[in-house]
Chain A
């Protein structure tokens, strides 16, 4: 039986991981390479590197660092941030990414999904959607959650999948940072709407939140979080132990 995936997400700006990270045994807490290795060794099932750099110099630096990260971790690696063209796909895939996550780039140009899926396969294209409730409906936001696109989220995600996206990351802006649990209502709606794997993001504050996620939505594929892993609030090995005790199938290391 396929295991539930636990995925830490690292935001990288100008070559450094942002958000102070607090770990023992790590000399350089903002080195993407060190952190990547740390997570890979402690049982993360996949890593997401998100480039939040704005400058082109920063982007080049990100690409160099990505290569070094990829040389040192041997689990699947998803890269997102600043992906607007097929050349951007090419750039990060050549550096060792396995999957590429698109968000604003797909909103601006939905054909990017078709083009990338045809060239690299559906398994390679991840649609990442920042979703917030507006006027009683789920709405897609662009530009890191700052801009309301007016698009209804479930329809948008369906469209992305029919265009060839092989996986969906749903980040609930409503629960993001609140640390009171995943947005089960929103996730259930997305899970019902598409057949491809869905990754839950936004709101995890404790191990129990992951247990609730996989108990309430048994066919949810993965849970993603950032700060609770970075700050050590939740250790991945402990989390997996707790999930196992709750009869949720996870990979042991």
Chain B
């Protein structure tokens, strides 16, 4: 059973639909026991980092997630859920993340070439930096769907894919059983479904 961690941010409709589509049994939950016993976890999220991380800490789910990861449960963060894996974010002040991936989250404003629209919205191509099991069914150059104004940096050896938006922007990270996608696999057509499928098999 795959557990989608529900901590009160974002619309999980599409994520559930896409997992159903690829025959992955998924449950949306905030129950620590269900999360502990799940064989895979997805940490979703849209909205602001500070608000979302606060909700994780207040509910105690941060500890539950960290324990599950320590036990070896595969975890995938999506969009803001990926950013939460980092050590910290500079979105409206400085906020502490889960620290599962080295690096921090910074804004596009002033750090990408001028003239590019923020947020970065739309289909953009993936450039692979490292082999990863979540890419086993897709190819370099495949397009995925992004919606974000902040992005992860300094993640060094955890960086598995980037996308070109005036400069190379972190698109996906991976370290052991921890994965993160800045884009939305559940909105990225067949390429996205293949990434979710691959994650369901790691």
A residues within 8 Å of B by Cβ? 1-3, 5, 40, 45, 70-72, 74-76, 93-96, 98, 121-123, 166-167, 195-197, 221, 251-253
B17 touches A253 (CB 8 A): no
Query: Nearest A residue to B47 by beta-carbon distance?
Result: A121
In the docked arrangement, what's the CA distance between A127 and B63, Å?
41
For window 1-32 of chain B, which residues contact chain A by CB distance below 8 Å?
A: 11, 13-14, 17-18, 20-21
| B143 located at the interface, meaning its Cβ lies under 8 Å from any Cβ of chain A in the complex | yes
**Closest Cβ neighbor of B116 among chain A residues:** A2
Contact pick for B122, options A3, A71, A98, A253, CB 8 Å: A3
Closest to A195 in B: B117
5 contacts between A and B (CB under 8 A): A1-B125, A95-B13, A98-B14, A121-B47, A253-B189
**Bound CA–CA A74/B22 (angstroms):** 12
In the bound complex, residues from chain B placing their C-beta under 8 Å from that of A3 are 122-125, 143
B48 to chain A, nearest CB (A): 9
Establish whether residues A74 and B120, one from each chain, have CB atoms under 8 Å apart when the complex forms.
Answer: no
Minimum CB–CB distance from B181 to chain A (whole Å) comes to: 14
The interface residues of chain A lying within 8 Å CB-to-CB of B45 are none
Query: Do residues A75 and B121 form an inter-chain contact, with CB atoms below 8 A?
Result: no
Shortest Cβ distance from A122 into B: residue: B119
Which B residues are in CB contact (< 8 Å) with A74?
14, 17-18, 21, 186-190, 192-193
Contacts of A98 in B (CB 8 A): 14, 187
Give the CA-CA distance A195 to B118 in the complex, in Å.
9
Contacts of A72 in B (CB 8 A): 17, 21
Contacts of A75 in B (CB 8 A): 145, 187-189
Bound form: Cα–Cα A121–B17 in Å: 22
**What's the minimum C-beta distance from A35 to chain B, rounded to whole angstroms?**
16
Distance, CA A53 to CA B15, complexed state (A): 29
Q: Which of B17, B123, B147 contacts A123 (CB 8 A)?
A: B147
Instruction: Count how many chain B residues have C-beta atoms less than 8 Å from C-beta atoms of the other chain.
Output: 29
Contact B187 A1 (CB under 8 A): no
Q: A3-B125, A45-B123, A70-B14 are in contact. List 8 more A-B contacts (CB 8 A).
A: A2-B165, A3-B123, A72-B21, A74-B189, A74-B192, A98-B14, A166-B121, A253-B189
- The verdict on B38 contacting chain A, using a C-beta distance below 8 Å, is no
Residue B46 CB within 8 A of the other chain: yes
> Is A1 within 8 A of B124, CB to CB?
yes
- Within 102-144 of B, Cβ neighbours of A (below 8 Å) are at 117, 119-125, 143
Instruction: State the Cβ distance, A124 to closest chain B Cβ, in Å.
Output: 9
Q: Does B164 contact A (CB under 8 A)?
A: yes
Contacts A5-B123, A196-B117, A197-B117 hold; do A76 and B17 have CB atoms under 8 A apart?
no
- Chain A residues contacting B121 (CB-CB under 8 Å) are 123, 166-167, 197
Contact partners of B165 in chain A: CB under 8 A:
1-2
Q: Are A121's CB and B20's CB within 8 A?
A: no
Cβ–Cβ contact A1 & B164, under 8 A:
yes
| Complex contacts, B186 vs chain A, CB 8 Å | 74
Q: B97 → chain A, closest Cβ, in Å?
A: 20
Expressed in whole angstroms, the Cα–Cα distance for A5 and B192 within the complex equals: 17
> Could you mark each residue 56-98 of chain B with 1 if its beta carbon is under 8 Å from any beta carbon of chain A, else 0?
0000000000000000000000000000000000000000000
What is the CA–CA distance of A1 and B116 in the complex, to the nearest angstrom?
Answer: 10
* Chain A residues positioned under 8 Å from B120 (CB to CB): 2
In the bound complex, what is the Cα–Cα distance between A249 and B12 (angstroms)?
Answer: 31
Instruction: Decide if A251 touches B143 in the complex (CB within 8 Å).
Output: yes
